Amino acid sequence: MGLKEEIAKRRTFGIISHPDAGKTTLTEKLLLFGGAIQKAGAVKSSKINMHARSDWMEIEKQRGISVATSVMAFEYEGMKINLLDTPGHQDFAEDTYRTLTAVDSVVMVVDCVKGVEIQTEKLMEVCRMRNTPVISFINKMDREGRDPYDLLEDIESRLNINVHPLSWPIGIGKTFKGVYSLYDKSLRLFQPSKQRLYEETVKLSDINSPDLAKFIGEKDAKQLREDVDLLQDLYGDLDVDAYLNGDIAPVFFGSAVNNFGVKELLDTFLKISPKPLARSTDMRLVEPTEEKFTGFIFKVHANMDPKHRNRIAFLRICSGKFERGNTYYHTRQHKKFRISQATAFMAQDKETIDEAWPGDIIGLYDTGNFKIGDTLSDGEKGTYKGIPSFSPEIFREVINRDAMKTKQLEKGLNQLMDEGVAQLFSYELGARKAVGVVGQLQFEVIQYRLKNEYGASADFVPIQVHKACWFSAKDPKKLEAFIDSKQRHIARDKDGKLVFMAESRAWLQMVQDNFPEIDFHFTSEF
């Protein structure tokens, strides 16, 4: 099979949502359809010991939340699907933002009881920055929730995107009987089952057929006909191009925990979602169909296998064919590396692969050569754009609790920072180190992983820092004068870039006013 055929059968997408909307459960059910797992795990269940496949880290199992992006590949109906399950919790948003750079489209899960929540709004902003196509799955329809029209309006007004329902619920909560597909004119009847794969489907060539009442009763049949007429008038047929441009979000209704509405979502997704798309480097636009290989690292994960202490760099292939054993050019280090080991993922399960194609996500064993944002190619020097570090919101000083384990602490901090979950700032004066994160929970995760994966003990003590700002100046003398005058507040990030650690908003403003020739930046890409 040639390059074009391989690209045509691939779909790479991320699943995003607010915590507890049912994102990881939906991921499980999609894997079930792909035959990738035999039995779906429960995220929270006292009866089932099997945890959700995508929540594999010990701390995830303990808390019942996702704290790192999981990558899973499976085949379905002759298509190769690369699925990325992202953390919903806002404290781990950085991981999700970066993951969204590696996908071609997104499925957004919304809880029908709560509607759109804050974290969903933030994630949607990131999707809008890149015009990423979005499909929405309104989940938990078997619970007493909000009116479906209400939910559509909520998505439109709060997420600033036009919606287009492709299925419609019959009843909600205790009266939920199923969904009618507006896309392929069929009726799917609801029977609660956490293990059953296929719901009962009734083909209806005509919604006005008297047969409808046999399945859902006269009252619901009348209501459904009115709803379908209204929806047809309001929305008409789906404009697939508008969806691909990120202007319209198709909407599905279902219950992921009961496996209902999931197949319909998956089947329609495969028909309308984009195949791997062209991407920009700092030099040009790269088409996936180009013969020469290119790809970029969007995530690094240390200790995926605690027994071996290995690091895995996650690579998104953008063009050409990847072949294991080939030598590829590392654009940041200006060196060539032979890639002798490459893996495909099913959460923490891995298998060695010999080749991969545009759209695929593969893992490269890393001895410290790769960082987030690195580009690999067949020799071309262009670097893929758009994976910045953002200025963190909470800062703590690192205090070593065991002087005998200083090396382990250094190694642990460096490796965990390379994953991009937090940022390390080393002060120029003294040996002080500070860690900056997006959310409080990150400190608990870092502390836990330092102890359990590296045998190092550390405390994180509050310090007076409001913002970490990268800075630059056109005049080297002015830059030097600024560094001299603010030496106590200057640190370096893990890449060695200079950072100004501002103690408060007011003080930062004053420094900006006093040093107009210095440019302050709130992301590391400038």
394-521 maps to which CATH number?
Answer: 3.30.70.3280
Per-residue pLDDT tens for 21-48?
888 888 888 888 777 554 444 443 333 3
The region, left, alpha or beta by phi > 0 then psi within -120 to 50, assigned to residue 449 is alpha
Task: Assign domain 279-377 to a CATH class.
Answer: alpha beta
Q: How far apart are CA 398 and CA 400, in angstroms?
A: 6
3-272 maps to which CATH number?
Answer: 3.40.50.300
Instruction: Write out 351-405 in H/E/C secondary structure.
Output: EECCEECCCCEEEEEECCCCCCCCEEECCCCCCECCCCCECCCEEEEEEECCHHH
The answer to whether the pTM exceeds 0.75 is yes
14 membership: H or E segment, kind and range? strand 10-17
pLDDT on residue 209: 80
Q: How far apart are CA 262 and CA 195, in angstroms?
A: 13
- Contact call for residues 414 and 454 (beta carbons, < 8 A): no
State which residues of the chain have pLDDT below 70: 36-69, 87-95, 192-201, 205, 302-310, 346-349, 386-388, 525-526
| Strand-strand pairing, 279-280 and 342-346 | unpaired
Domain boundaries along the sequence of the chain: 3-272, 279-377, 394-521
Q: How far apart are CA 197 and CA 262, in angstroms?
A: 9
DSSP string of 110-157, one letter each residue? EETTTBS-HHHHHHHHHHHHTT--EEEEEE-TTSS---HHHHHHHHHH
Per-residue pLDDT tens for 412-432?
998 888 777 789 999 988 889
pLDDT on residue 49: 37
Residue identified by tokens 């379908």 is: 228
Three-state DSSP at 217 gives coil
Read off φ and ψ for residue 406, nearest 5 degrees.
-60, -45
pLDDT on residue 121: 84
**Burial bucket for residue 477 (CB in 10 Å: 0-12, 13-18, 19+):** exposed
pLDDT on residue 430: 83
Domain 3-272 identical in fold to domain 394-521: no
Q: Integer distance in angstroms from the first to the last C-alpha of the chain?
A: 42
